[in-house]
Amino acid sequence: MRLKKKFPDTIIIVLSILVIFVILTWIIPAGEFQRTEIKGRSVLIPGSYQKVERHPQGLGAFLTAPIKGFISASQIIAFVFIVGGAFGIINRTGAINAGLNNIIKFCSRRPNYKKFIIPFVMVLFSIAGATFGMSEEVLVFILITIPLALALGHDSIVGVAMPFIGAGAGFAGAFCNPFTVGIAQEIAEIPVFSGWEYRLVVWAVLTTIAIVFVMIYANMIEKKPERSPVYSIDSKRDLIDFHNEENQIFTVRRKMILFLLLIAIFVLVYGVNTWEWHINEIAGLFLALGILSAIVYRLSANDAVDGLINGAKDMITAALVIGLSKGLLIVATDGKIIDTILNSLALLAKNFHSVISAEIMFIFQGILNFFIPSGSGQAALTMPIMAPLSDLLGITRQTAVLAFQLGDGLFNMIIPTSGITMGVLSIAKIPYQKWVKWLFPLMILFFIAALLILIPPVLYFDW
């Protein structure tokens, strides 16, 4: 009898990549650009690259990278635990379960409405990604959209795709994201948020591709659930029993809790845009939501704490993966290979037609994103070089910014070095290899679309 080989766990994959990064520090020459500080950000000085003494990483770096990663990612790990705990309290009240049960009843009475749920949710998250750069915040919504997708007869991949792919498409096609487009344009010395008209078209194209892909997949799974890559995983989930009378009762208290959740979401959006909130404030917001939910539902102190602990327990794997992913980047940084990769790929773009050069810049940003999965960080690192390079290549600086945002945003959804990506998958309990297999066709569509999107700004108009 032939035994089926089990694919390595996500943590094993991350540790394997860590080994590869250690080896690369022995192969890729070490180098550095000189840096200067502009408006509180460290940016590279174009033309200042020089080779430096090698800093190969060894066994010690491999063993200490995880703890360094945890220290570096401590803020987001704490965020994951606190938000997970807050939702543990909310779940203890049964409010989300009862709310989902009502949605199912509504869709059963009006089946035509069901098909609008996925596009509606994805457009909302895409707008969030395009405007205020929704990223870590997606972790919050995974806890809601997975049970929603399962309740509607889809699978957990659809539950992840609605917020994560939606926000990712919006992030890549952002027209006024201050953390990517804003920073990149400022460094490139062009008016902030200028060229938004064409970026709005880009946003619409990428969002449409994402929605159509997810809708086709969701319809397929609804007809044949066994075709889902996570069918066996979903069948073992602790699913809501919608036939349980307790889960069907949408009491006034449960309605109040969902209303508080809705208010929290509006406050989150307003706080990020107006008060410049980051994950500390967002974590505090959801902790307050959990406490208020316990008070409204009249949970005992012990029940509320049990909910908090159980919710945090569900985040342990996600926290481990996030910390380890951060450790990968520390090894690459300590080995001084990132600037060498940046310099080599930038020089490569000089040797081609302007259209090909623009597309190489896009691919280059995607490759670099493997090492620096941070939009603002990558903008500060690459735009001081890409902006003047685009002048030499006959490409507008707006196009260089567009190549950056496409490369950064699209590849974020698949790279294993992104703590957010791996955290989302860990929370959803979806193995990384299954996610890659499902996402790969969509990434090809995104890749082709990005290459085509870069042609008009180079050939047909100056923006």
Residues 350-370, mean pLDDT to the nearest whole number? 86
Residues 35-49, mean pLDDT to the nearest whole number? 73
Q: Determine the structural domain holding residue 116 and report its residue range.
A: 76-322+416-459
Whether 182 and 193 have beta carbons less than 8 Å apart is answered as: yes
Evaluate whether residue 96 is within a structural domain.
yes
Residue 62's alpha-carbon distances to 67, 234, 331, in angstroms, are 10, 35, 8
d(C-alpha 250, C-alpha 258), whole Å: 10
Evaluate whether residue 374 is within a structural domain.
no
Confidence of residue 239 (pLDDT cuts 50, 70, 90): low
pLDDT at 39: 65
**What is the reported pTM?**
0.72
d(C-alpha 203, C-alpha 122), whole Å: 12
**pLDDT for 89 beyond 80:** yes
Confidence of residue 42 (pLDDT cuts 50, 70, 90): low
pLDDT at 205: 98
Evaluate whether residue 95 is within a structural domain.
yes
Q: How distant is the alpha carbon of residue 183 from its chain centre? A: 19
β-bridge partners, 31: 51
**Where is 109: in which H helix or E strand?**
helix 95-109
d(C-alpha 363, C-alpha 346), whole Å: 11
Evaluate whether residue 435 is within a structural domain.
yes
Label residue 354 exposed, middle or buried (CB < 10 Å: 0-12, 13-18, 19+): middle
Structure tokens at 231: 């069918």
Minimal CA–CA distance to 241: which of 382, 78, 98?
98
Number of domains in the chain: 1
Structure tokens at 349: 């773009």
Evaluate whether residue 367 is within a structural domain.
no
**3 state DSSP class of 334:** helix
Structure tokens at 56: 């190969």
Q: How distant is the alpha carbon of residue 384 from its chain centre? A: 25
pLDDT at 5: 52
The torsion angles phi and psi of 35, rounded to 5 degrees, stand at: -125, 155
DSSP string for 27-68: HSPPEE--EEEETTEEEE-TT--EE-------HHHHHHHHHH
Residue 45's CB is within 10 A of a number of other CB atoms, namely: 12
pLDDT at 2: 45
**pLDDT for 402 beyond 90:** yes
Whole-number mean pLDDT of the chain? 84
d(C-alpha 334, C-alpha 315), whole Å: 29
Residues 86-108, mean pLDDT to the nearest whole number? 78
Residue 41's CB is within 10 A of a number of other CB atoms, namely: 16
Whether 188 and 385 have beta carbons less than 8 Å apart is answered as: no
Whether 456 and 463 have beta carbons less than 8 Å apart is answered as: no
The torsion angles phi and psi of 158, rounded to 5 degrees, stand at: -65, -40
d(C-alpha 294, C-alpha 298), whole Å: 6
Label residue 93 exposed, middle or buried (CB < 10 Å: 0-12, 13-18, 19+): buried
Residues 106-113, mean pLDDT to the nearest whole number? 71
Segment 245-260, tens digit of pLDDT: 555 677 899 999 989 9
pLDDT at 1: 40
Minimal CA–CA distance to 335: which of 17, 31, 47?
31
Residue with tokens 């080995």, as numbered in its chain: 335
Q: What percent of the chain has pLDDT over 90?
A: 37
List of residues 6+ apart from 30 with CB closer than 8 A: 51, 52, 53, 54, 55, 335, 336, 337, 340
Evaluate whether residue 370 is within a structural domain.
no
Amino acid at 208: T
d(C-alpha 250, C-alpha 231), whole Å: 29
Evaluate whether residue 112 is within a structural domain.
yes
d(C-alpha 463, C-alpha 460), whole Å: 10
**pLDDT for 4 beyond 70:** no
Evaluate whether residue 104 is within a structural domain.
yes
User: Which range is least confidently modeled, 22-26, 33-37, 82-86?
Assistant: 33-37
Minimal CA–CA distance to 82: which of 281, 257, 327, 303?
281
**pLDDT for 162 beyond 50:** yes
User: Which range is least confidently modeled, 42-46, 335-339, 355-359?
Assistant: 42-46
pLDDT at 435: 95
β-bridge partners, 51: 31
Minimal CA–CA distance to 181: which of 143, 131, 222, 146?
131
Residue 76's CB is within 10 A of a number of other CB atoms, namely: 22
Sign of the Cα pseudo-torsion (397, 399, 402, 406, in order):
negative
pLDDT at 242: 42
